[in-house]
Structure 1
Amino acid sequence: MTSTDLPQYKTIQYEEIDKVAVVTLNRPEVLNAFDSVMMREIASCWRYLRDRETIRAIVLTGAGDKAFCTGLDRKAEAVGENGAVPLHHNDPGHFLPPKTAGHLYKPVIAAVNGMACAGAFYLLGEVEFIIASETATFFDPHTTYGMAAVFEPMMMLQRMPLGEVMRMSLMGSYERMTATRAHQIGLAQELTAPADLLPRALEVATRIASQPALATETTVKSIWTAQESSYRAALEMGQSLIQLGTSDASLREGARTFQSGRRITWTPR
């Protein structure tokens, strides 16, 4: 498939590099804030990737070096099926999170550059892990401007300690979490120099994508099941997932890697 055959979007860039898809939020003039068009395009992209058999991992990033995403573009006019409608009638939570909007369990790695705030957490709340530039910052300005922070902190509570979510939500625009602090608390799994961010994310994604797809996707599904369920309920579902996530084709692919004699070069972290 040539690049002209790939899906075309107005507000995001889509690229395929071997078995990895790179999805770039592409509204740098508004710090990659999302409008109704971007919301629908992201949801469409997640659904496309769910069924794209040749893609085994995804890198999600933002255009430019100022921001990954700054949430809702409040100056944009929202256009619905029947003309202009208030954007908040279509909650971003229905469109942006890869698991919720696209039922996508291929690994999504976020490469965060610059600011990530407010509605960006709809995206970050459902990625597998985050690689951040050393210049990245994380904050939630809702309360400063008289709005309750609700869905975003609920989602980030899945990957941050309670006190950190509370502090970020309550401090509003008065404080920004640095990349160093994000790494300390486990929000970001790795920090890089700004210029190394995308190459490093691609390197990690390529390694993940080199492994059998069924095993990888079922692993993602299993871990999210455990995160979102009680321990016992997750173990019970695990009995079904291990059957669904094991196939002769997947095992043969893994066996070829083992029998090739090629030794995988691992890296410390």
Structure 2
Amino acid sequence: MTTSVDERVDTVTLTIKNNVATVVIDRQHVLNAVDATAQARLNGIWEQLEKDPTVRAVVITGAGSRAFSVGADMSASAVDKTGLEYWASLDPHGFGGLSLRTSLDIPVIARVNGYALGGGMEMVLGADIVVAADTAQFGLTEPRVGRLALDGGIHQLVRRIPYTQAMGMLLTGRKAGATEMQSMGLVNEVVPAEELDAAVQRWVDQILACAPTSVRAVKQMVTQTTHLTAKEARGLRLPALMAALDSEDSAEGVRAFQEKRPPVWPGS
């Protein structure tokens, strides 16, 4: 069954169609920078999607062709806070409600169409798969304006790419192109800008080809066990894992294999 929901509130859009949610930050006049209103809206979207069992993949991007997001809106009054005031007010889920979020069991694909700087880069670090236009630029540039990437940037980057590569970016605030970030292991695929949507769709289709319960279990197992050894992690009876092991999806997968046909996933 095909369902479609469209909402537009506070310059952030959510579209749900064919089990895929698309989140677009549409503040092109400030290169899709996020202010307090947009931050709250993004948090609300993630909370909504966490409760929607029909959504099997999420794509997040920025409107237009210039920027994914350049992070915090430096023109907004929120940046008038002192460094200590800003640190005390940090969102527990990180920038955009995504960079440190561990409660969203749905795969997130970052469609990086341009600049992903500061908080924008932090949101990329909160994604599971990153597909970028060859013109995209990445960076945690906060030190160049006397700030720090405290919303997940510093702590996530050193966990996602090799230490010296991460420190080379963190200590200089420099920008890096999509191809360089792919060589570091952060970006899955780099394509010409005009091929970006097709590339993202290929990744979405591959996710949708898998059992929904299996995908949710994988995501939950990864996000909930990164602090454990592999042996300790294997022993956890996480809710999504137990649901997947006892699911109709599991039975359908075996039947489809035996009958030499594509599976039709019940999603439960």
CA–CA distance in structure 2, aligned partners of residues 112 and 36 of structure 1: 22
- Alpha carbons of 1:109 and 1:138: their partners in 2 closer, same or farther (altered >3 Å)? same
Contact 1:34 1:72 in 2 (8 A): yes
Counterpart in the other structure of 1:141: 141
Aligned to 1:81: none
Alignment partner, residue 223 of structure 2 = 224
Distance of 2:210 and 2:3 partners within structure 1: 24
- Displacement of 1:100: 4.4
Structure 2: distance between partners of 1:207 and 1:110: 15
Q: Partners in 1 of 2:25 and 2:112 — Cα distance? A: 11
1:68 match: 68
Report the 3-state secondary structure (helix = DSSP H, G, I; strand = E; otherwise coil) of the residue aligned with 1:94: coil
Distance 2:99 2:237 in 1: 18
Q: 1:253 to 1:85 in 2, by over 3 A?
A: farther
The answer to whether the 8 Å contact 1:92/1:122 transfers is no
Aligned counterparts of 2:58 and 2:218: Cα–Cα separation in 1: 15
1:33 and 2:21 matched = no
Offset, 1:161: 1.2
Structure 1 residues 124, 47: closer, same or farther in 2, change over 3 A?
same
Residue aligning to 1:183 = 182
Aligned length: 256
| Aligned Cα root-mean-square deviation (Å) | 2.7
Task: Find out whether 1:44 has 2:38 as its counterpart.
Answer: no
Corresponding residue SS for 2:160: coil
Aligned position for 2:131: 131
> Are residues 252 and 32 of structure 1, via their aligned partners in 2, closer, same or farther at CA, if it must alter by over 3 Å?
same
- Name the residue aligned to 1:251: 250
TM-score, length of structure 2 as denominator length: 0.84
How far 1:19 sits from its partner (Å)?
1.3
- For 2:42, the aligned partner's letter is I
The answer to whether the Cα contact below 8 Å between 2:56 and 2:107 also exists between their aligned partners in 1 is yes
Q: CA deviation at 1:193?
A: 1.0
Match in the other structure for 2:109: 109
Shift of 1:241: 6.0
Higher deviation after alignment, 247-256 or 37-46: 247-256
Evaluate the alpha carbon distance shift between residue 199 and residue 246 of structure 1 in structure 2; reply closer, same or farther with a 3 A threshold: same
Read off the aligned partner of 1:213 and give its amino acid letter.
P
Q: TM-score, normalised by structure 1?
A: 0.84
Deviations 1:211-249 (A, max 9, x none): 321111001112233434333331222687643432232
Look up the match of 1:193.
Answer: 192
Q: Which residue of 1 aligns with 2:168?
A: 167
Q: Against the structure 1 CA distance between its residues 98 and 146, is the aligned structure 2 distance closer, same or farther, given a 3 Å change threshold?
A: closer
Residue type of the partner of 2:48? Answer: Y
Distance 1:216 1:131, change over 3 A: same
Q: For each residue in 1:115-166, what CA deviation from the matched residue of structure 2 results, as whole angstroms up to 9, or x when unmatched?
A: 1111123312221111111111111221122223444121222211111111
Q: Which SS does the other structure have where 2:76 is aligned?
A: coil
Trace 1:205-224 onto structure 2 (pairs within 5 A): 205-224=204-223
Label 1:102 to 1:261 Cα distance change in 2 as closer, same or farther (>3 A): same
Distance in 2 (CA, whole Å) between partners of 1:29 and 1:224 is 34
User: Could you say what secondary structure the match of 2:219 adopts?
Assistant: helix
